[in-house]
C-alpha cells in the first residue's frame, strides 16, 4: 500500500511517529522543512529567540517512514497525484493530508501586504529582529507594535513581547515602546470563561498593553493601521511593526470533482477522518472538518491535531492488515494560555465533564505539561 503523508505539523508528525514497519505498508512523508515546529510556542521565539523546533530524522527512526524534502503545490484526488513546487509528481494508493492552515486576512486593504504573520519560524525571526532594532540608538520611525487578534496566539504574543520590551528598556536606557492589541469582537480569549478572561485582562493591563476591544482593523499601510469602533469612529495608529493573528483558513491546494468543503475551507471527512467520496484519502489537523460527539466542528488546536494523527497512524496499519478502522472520538483535555514568564491561566478537564480553573504558576506548569506530553508522544 503506497502511502504518502503530506506535512510534518502536529497532525502529520503524529501519524508518522505512531507507525511501525508493517507488511504491505510503504510510507513516504513529504515535508518542506527538515524540522518540526512547535507552532504553539512561536510567540516565545518571536520575543526571546527560544528554540522551538526538533529535527525530523531522529523522530522517524523505527517507524518505517521515509522522508523527502518537498514543497507540495497541488493535490489532484481524481488523478491520485501530488505535485511539488520542485516539479516532482508523486502517486499513491493511500494519502494523508496534513498541510495545515494559512493566515486569513479577510481582504482587509493593505493587511496581507504590510502585516507579519506568526505561522512559521521565519515569522518569529522577523519579529524578534524588529524588537532588537527598535532599541538600537540609531533607529528612526515608530517603534510601536500593533497586534491584530486577541485569541490565544495574539494574547500570548503580546505578553511575551511586553516582557522583552521591559528587559531591553532597562538594559539600554530607552523608553519602552507601546504595544496595541486590537480585537474586533466583544472580548479577548473567547475560549475561556469570564473569570479566567478577567485575570488575563488584568495581566495585560499590568504590562501596559493597550487593549482595544470592539475595534476592527479596516486598513493597513507600511507604517499605520486604521481601526474602527462599532459606532463607526475611526482612529489611525502609527506602528513600526504590524502583526496579524486574527484568523486562519485551510490551505486550498486539494482538488477533486467530488470534494466537499465547509467553513474556513476545511475538507469534510467522515468518522474515520477519510473523505467520503475519496475513501483512500485521510485528512487531519487544520484542514479537516471533523465533528465532535455533538456534531459540531472540532477546534483547530494542536491537541486535536495530535489526536487525529495518532488515530490515523493506527488506522493506516489496520488498513494494511485488513482490520476494521476505528472512528475518531475527540476529547478536550483543557486549554491554557501563557501570559509571559511563569504566568498562565486556563482549565483542565475533570471526570463527569467538570473543569478545574487554574491561574499563575500551576497553570504555567500545566501549559508546559502539554508540551511534554506531545514530546513523549512523538519520541
The secondary structure of the chain in percent helix, strand, coil, rounded to multiples of 5, reads 30, 30, 40
Residue 102 has pLDDT above 90, yes or no: yes
The helix (H) or strand (E) run that includes residue 107 is: none
Query: How many of the other CB atoms lie within 10 Å of CB of 319?
Result: 24
Give the pLDDT score at 354.
87
Asked whether the whole model's pTM tops 0.85, one would answer yes
What single DSSP character describes residue 121? H
**Residue 87 burial (CB < 10 Å; 0-12/13-18/19+)?**
exposed
* Average pLDDT score over the chain: 95
- 3-state secondary structure (DSSP) of residue 278: strand
Q: What is the DSSP string of 30-66?
A: EESSSEEE-GGGHHHHHHH----EEEHHHHTTTTTEE
CA pair distance 16, 128, nearest whole angstrom: 32
> Which tens digit of pLDDT belongs to each residue from 104-133?
999 999 999 999 999 999 999 999 999 999
pLDDT of 179-232, one tens digit each?
A: 999 999 999 999 899 999 999 999 999 999 999 999 999 999 999 999 999 888
pLDDT score at 277: 97
- How many Å apart are CA 62 and CA 331, to the nearest integer? 28
| pLDDT(379) > 90 | no
Structure confidence at residue 333 (pLDDT)? 86
CB 250 within 8 A of CB 264: yes
**pLDDT at residue 16 greater than cutoff 90:** yes
Using left for φ > 0, alpha for ψ between -120 and 50, and beta otherwise, residue 331 falls in: beta
Q: Model confidence at 353, in pLDDT bands (50, 70, 90)?
A: confident
Per-residue pLDDT for 51 more than 90?
yes
pLDDT range class, residue 325, cuts 50, 70, 90: very high
pLDDT of res. 126: 98
> What was the pLDDT predicted at 351?
85
Cα separation, 158 vs 209, whole angstroms: 8
Distances (CA, A) of 379 to 7, 55, 62, 303: 18, 12, 10, 16
Q: Which three cell numbers stand for residue 157?
A: 504574543
Query: Could you tell me the pLDDT band of residue 255, with boundaries at 50, 70 and 90?
Result: very high
Q: Which DSSP string corresponds to 86-104?
A: TS-EEE-SEEEE---EEE-
- Would you state the cell numbers that stand for residue 187, as one nine-digit string? 472580548
Sequence-ordered list of residues with C-beta below 8 angstroms from that of 354, at least 6 positions apart, any chain: none
Per-residue pLDDT at 107: 96
**DSSP-derived pairing of the beta strands 278-283 and 274-275:** antiparallel
The alpha carbon of residue 90 and the mean position of all alpha carbons in its chain are separated, in whole angstroms, by 27
Amino acid at each position: 500500500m503506497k502511502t504518502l503523508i503530506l506535512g510534518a505539523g502536529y497532525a502529520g508528525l503524529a501519524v508518522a511517529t505512531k507507525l511501525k514497519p508493517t507488511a504491505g505498508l510503504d510510507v513516504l512523508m513529504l515535508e518542506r522543512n527538515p524540522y518540526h515546529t512547535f507552532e504553539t510556542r512561536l510567540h516565545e521565539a518571536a520575543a526571546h529567540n527560544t528554540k522551538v523546533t526538533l529535527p525530523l530524522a531522529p523522530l522517524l527512526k523505527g517507524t518505517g517512514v521515509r522522508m523527502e524534502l518537498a514543497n507540495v503545490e497541488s493535490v489532484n484526488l481524481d488523478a491520485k497525484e501530488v505535485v511539488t513546487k520542485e516539479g516532482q509528481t508523486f502517486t499513491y494508493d493511500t494519502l494523508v493530508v496534513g498541510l495545515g492552515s494559512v493566515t486569513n486576512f479577510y481582504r482587509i486593504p493593505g493587511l496581507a501586504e504590510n502585516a507579519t504573520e506568526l505561522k512559521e519560524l521565519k515569522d518569529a525571526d522577523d519579529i524578534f529582529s524588529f524588537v532588537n532594532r527598535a532599541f538600537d540608538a540609531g533607529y528612526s520611525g515608530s517603534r510601536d507594535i500593533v497586534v491584530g487578534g486577541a485569541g490565544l496566539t495574539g494574547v500570548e504574543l503580546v505578553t511575551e513581547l511586553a516582557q522583552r520590551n521591559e528587559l531591553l528598556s532597562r538594559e539600554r536606557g530607552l523608553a519602552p515602546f507601546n504595544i496595541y492589541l486590537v480585537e474586533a469582537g466583544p472580548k479577548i480569549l473567547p475560549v475561556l470563561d469570564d473569570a479566567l478572561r478577567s485575570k488575563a485582562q488584568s495581566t495585560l493591563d499590568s504590562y501596559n498593553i493597550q487593549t482595544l476591544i470592539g475595534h476592527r482593523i479596516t486598513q493597513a499601510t507600511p507604517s499605520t493601521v486604521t481601526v474602527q469602533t462599532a459606532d463607526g469612529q475611526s482612529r489611525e495608529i502609527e506602528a513600526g511593526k504590524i502583526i496579524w493573528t486574527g484568523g486562519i483558513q485551510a490551505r486550498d491546494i486539494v482538488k477533486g470533482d467530488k470534494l466537499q468543503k465547509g467553513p474556513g475551507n476545511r475538507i469534510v471527512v467522515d468518522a474515520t477522518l477519510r473523505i467520503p467520496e475519496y475513501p483512500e484519502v485521510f485528512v487531519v489537523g487544520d484542514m479537516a472538518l471533523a465533528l465532535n460527539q455533538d456534531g459540531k466542528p472540532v477546534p483547530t488546536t494542536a491537541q486535536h491535531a495530535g489526536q487525529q494523527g495518532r488515530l490515523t497512524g493506527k488506522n493506516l496499519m489496520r488498513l494494511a492488515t485488513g482490520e476494521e478502522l476505528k472512528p475518531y472520538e475527540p476529547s478536550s483535555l483543557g486549554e491554557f494560555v501563557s501570559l509571559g514568564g511563569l504566568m498562565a491561566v486556563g482549565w483542565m478537564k475533570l471526570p463527569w465533564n467538570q473543569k478545574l480553573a487554574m491561574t499563575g504558576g500551576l497553570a504555567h506548569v500545566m501549559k508546559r505539561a502539554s508540551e511534554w506530553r506531545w514530546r513523549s508522544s512523538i519520541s
